[in-house]
């Protein structure tokens, strides 16, 4: 049954008068899927979102990743409520911060010391500053299609060749800053080698999403992370992992201890940026790493970073509660089982309707690419049918399935999704694909 979204459309018209583009993050707009009013949600519970018109959606957006426990998980809600009752902000340290810091350190052993901030953007931005302070170098190398938030340095993409100095991706970023950034293709060892041969002695850090979540879900080729770490270190550069999406997404821990990479030491970064899941649905970011590097940060060292809201009790309490839930045995296996079924259902529906579809799945996450080739780097993700995805997205929405409005974004399962939700999603996909 197709839903009606009149109230959402009215609210969008109103929002356009007051909020730039009607949205507080461009990724929420429907610009990349052919336009139209985004859906205005009113509440959420478990695997479901409910909009202002009373429609229910099975949600695979998970707010772009943080909501791995499902919406309004009672354990997290209780923790936030308690924190709110006790006072939301003191401007002083709290014992809660130590508890979450210890939980993160235990789960991510490369982090000797941690600092909490308010977003993934802040976390990444500060790791770069700290790497520059530690190495006394300015340049960073990053990978095409990896998103690291909206700070100046990481909104720079490749120039004309695979390893040229960057050009800004956004207005407002000086060319001088873009020239501090080199972008190379992901999963391409020779390209990184070439960049390091040319700029290695000026490079403060190689910054990477060790498992990509921003041009679909993409695993590094076997040996790739090992090569990234050893090449960077060979040039005297630090390695920064942006695990804002990947930490606690595939198992209780980060990429650094994920079973797919047996030699954990060979892939250990110097600094790690975190966000999303570790805040249990409230604003958070964190970064951490080796003691001698982290001690460059104020008040111990000369690299300045601060935050009025950093480590606030509500975000920290939600984070602790979320990680406690994620310690439940078997949850990652169950998300993987359901995602595997969903992947197969989507592939079957596509092939029955003569549609070329590639699905990348990593445990409980997947990405859909309307193409007949594999997707292991950004160029391959670009070379997919965005127009078809846009129509698929809108068809799924009309069927009560909420996906991210972009062909590059992942589908995230949560621990609240049931077999019935997956069956219903496959049925909806078959219906939508038949009409594409
Ligand atoms: N790093 C990665 C890998 C991300 O996916 C994102 C956001 O999607 C960020 C950093 C930025 O995080 P935030 O939106 O919390 O600033």
Question: How confident is the model over 386-399, as pLDDT tens digits?
Answer: 999 999 999 999 99
Instruction: For residue 244, report the distance from its CA to the centre of ligand 1, in Å.
Output: 6
Instruction: For residue 123, report the distance from its CA to the centre of ligand 1, in Å.
Output: 9
How far the first Cα of the chain sits from its last, in Å, is: 17
Confidence of residue 163 (pLDDT cuts 50, 70, 90): very low
ipTM of the complex: 0.99
Question: How confident is the model over 82-106, as pLDDT tens digits?
Answer: 999 999 999 999 999 999 999 999 9
Question: How confident is the model over 315-350, as pLDDT tens digits?
Answer: 999 999 999 999 999 999 999 999 999 999 999 999
Find the helix or strand (DSSP H, E) in which 101 lies.
helix 95-107
What is the rounded radius of gyration, in angstroms, for the C-alpha atoms of the chain? 21
Angle between helical axes of 386-398 and 419-434 (0-180°, round to 10): 120
Contacts of 379 (CB under 8 A, 6+ apart): 144, 185
**Dihedral in degrees, nearest 10, Cα atoms 350, 351, 357, 358:** 120
Q: Which of 51, 59, 188, 242 is catalytic?
A: 242
pLDDT at 164 over 70: no
Q: Is the CB of 124 under 6 A from ligand 1?
A: yes
- The neighbour count for residue 59, using CB atoms within 10 Å, is 27
Question: How confident is the model over 183-224, as pLDDT tens digits?
Answer: 999 999 999 999 999 999 999 999 999 999 999 999 999 999
- List, edge to edge, every strand of the sheet that includes 41-45: 41-45, 48-51, 56-59, 401-402
Q: Which two tokens stand for residue 6?
A: 């009149």
Best CA proximity match to 143, nearest among 106, 99, 187? 187
According to DSSP, the residues that pair with 207 across neighbouring strands are: 240
The burial of 208, by beta-carbon neighbours within 10 Å (0-12 exposed, 13-18 middle, 19 or more buried), is given as: buried
Residue 1's pLDDT is what? 54
Query: For the chain, which domains are there?
Result: 6-72+329-434 (3.90.1150.10), 74-326 (3.40.640.10)
Instruction: For residue 66, report the distance from its CA to the centre of ligand 1, in Å.
Output: 10
Residue 167's pLDDT is what? 74
Read out DSSP for 249-313? TSSSS-GGG-TT-S-GGGG--SEEEEEGGGGTTS--EEEEE-HHHHTTBTTTSSB----SSTT-H
Task: Name the residue with the closest Cα to ligand 1, atom 1.
Answer: 148
Q: Which two tokens stand for residue 16?
A: 């356009």
pTM of the model: 0.97
Alpha carbon distance 132, 138 (integer Å): 6
Q: Is the CB of 244 under 6 A from ligand 1?
A: yes
| 157-161, 230-234, 291-295, 341-345: range with lowest mean pLDDT | 157-161
Q: Is the CB of 149 under 6 A from ligand 1?
A: yes
Residue 404's pLDDT is what? 97
Alpha carbon distance 416, 331 (integer Å): 10
Instruction: For residue 120, report the distance from its CA to the centre of ligand 1, in Å.
Output: 5
**Using an 8 Å Cβ cutoff, are 418 and 43 in contact?**
no
Active-site residue flag, 112: no
Question: How confident is the model over 137-162, as pLDDT tens digits?
Answer: 999 999 999 999 999 999 887 665 44
Convert 102-113 to b/e letters by CB count within 10 Å (16 or more is b): ebbeebbebbeb
According to DSSP, the residues that pair with 57 across neighbouring strands are: 49
Best CA proximity match to 258, nearest among 334, 249, 207? 249
Q: What angle do CA 324, 81, 327 make, to 5 degrees?
A: 5
Residue 162's pLDDT is what? 43
Q: Which of 147, 186, 241, 378 is catalytic?
A: 147
Q: Is the CB of 116 under 6 A from ligand 1?
A: no
Displacement of CA 6 from its chain's centroid (Å): 31
Q: Closest ligand 1 atom to the C-alpha of 285?
A: 15
Q: Which two tokens stand for residue 31?
A: 């610009």
Active-site residue flag, 241: no
Q: Closest ligand 1 atom to the C-alpha of 64?
A: 8
Active-site residue flag, 276: yes
Find the helix or strand (DSSP H, E) in which 412 lies.
strand 411-412
Q: Is the CB of 51 under 6 A from ligand 1?
A: no
Q: Which residue has the tokens 């000086």?
A: 174
- The neighbour count for residue 10, using CB atoms within 10 Å, is 14
Report the residue among 118, 120, 152 best suited for mutation to probe ligand 1: largest number of ligand atoms under 8 A from its CB: 120
Best CA proximity match to 323, nearest among 286, 377, 268? 286
Alpha carbon distance 276, 364 (integer Å): 16
């Amino acid at each position: 049954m197709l839903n009606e979204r009149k109230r959402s459309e009215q609210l969008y018209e109103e929002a356009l008068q007051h909020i730039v583009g009607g949205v507080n993050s461009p990724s929420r707009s429907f610009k990349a899927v052919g336009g139209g009013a985004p859906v205005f949600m009113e509440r959420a519970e478990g695997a479901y979102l409910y909009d202002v018109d009373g429609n229910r959606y099975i949600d695979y957006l998970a707010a772009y990743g943080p909501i791995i426990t499902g919406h309004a998980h009672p354990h997290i809600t209780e923790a936030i409520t308690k924190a709110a009752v006790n006072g939301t902000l003191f401007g002083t340290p709290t014992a809660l911060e130590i508890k979450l810091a210890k939980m993160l350190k235990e789960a991510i052993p490369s982090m000797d010391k941690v600092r909490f901030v308010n977003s993934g953007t802040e976390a990444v931005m500060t790791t770069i500053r700290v790497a520059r302070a530690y190495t006394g170098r300015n340049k960073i190398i990053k990978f095409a299609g990896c998103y690291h938030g909206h700070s100046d340095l990481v909104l720079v993409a490749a120039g004309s060749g695979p390893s040229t100095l960057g050009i800004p991706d956004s207005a407002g970023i000086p060319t001088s800053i873009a020239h501090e950034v080199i972008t190379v293709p992901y999963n391409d060892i020779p390209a990184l080698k070439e960049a390091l041969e040319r700029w290695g002695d000026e490079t403060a850090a190689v910054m990477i999403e060790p498992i990509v979540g921003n041009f679909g879900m993409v695993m590094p080729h076997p040996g790739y992370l090992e090569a990234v770490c050893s090449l960077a270190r060979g040039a005297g550069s630090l390695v920064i992992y942006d695990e804002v999406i990947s930490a606690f997404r595939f198992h209780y821990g980060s990429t650094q201890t994920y079973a797919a990479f047996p030699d954990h030491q060979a892939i250990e970064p110097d600094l790690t940026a975190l966000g999303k899941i570790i805040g249990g649905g409230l604003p958070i970011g964190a970064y951490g790493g080796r003691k001698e590097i982290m001690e460059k940060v104020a008040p111990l060292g000369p690299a300045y970073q601060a935050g009025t809201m950093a480590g606030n009790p509500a975000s920290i309490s939600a984070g602790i509660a979320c990680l406690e839930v994620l310690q439940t045995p078997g949850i990652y296996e169950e998300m993987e089982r359901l995602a595997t079924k969903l992947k197969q259902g989507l592939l079957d529906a596509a092939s029955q309707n003569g549609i070329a579809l590639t699905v990348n799945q990593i445990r409980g996450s997947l990405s859909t690419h309307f193409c007949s080739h594999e997707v292991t780097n950004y160029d391959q993700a670009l070379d997919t049918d965005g127009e078809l995805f846009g129509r698929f997205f809108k068809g799924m929405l009309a069927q009560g399935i909420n996906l991210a409005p972009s062909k590059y974004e992942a589908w995230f399962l949560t621990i609240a999704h049931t077999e019935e939700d997956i069956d219903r999603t496959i049925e909806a996909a078959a219906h939508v694909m038949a009409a594409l």
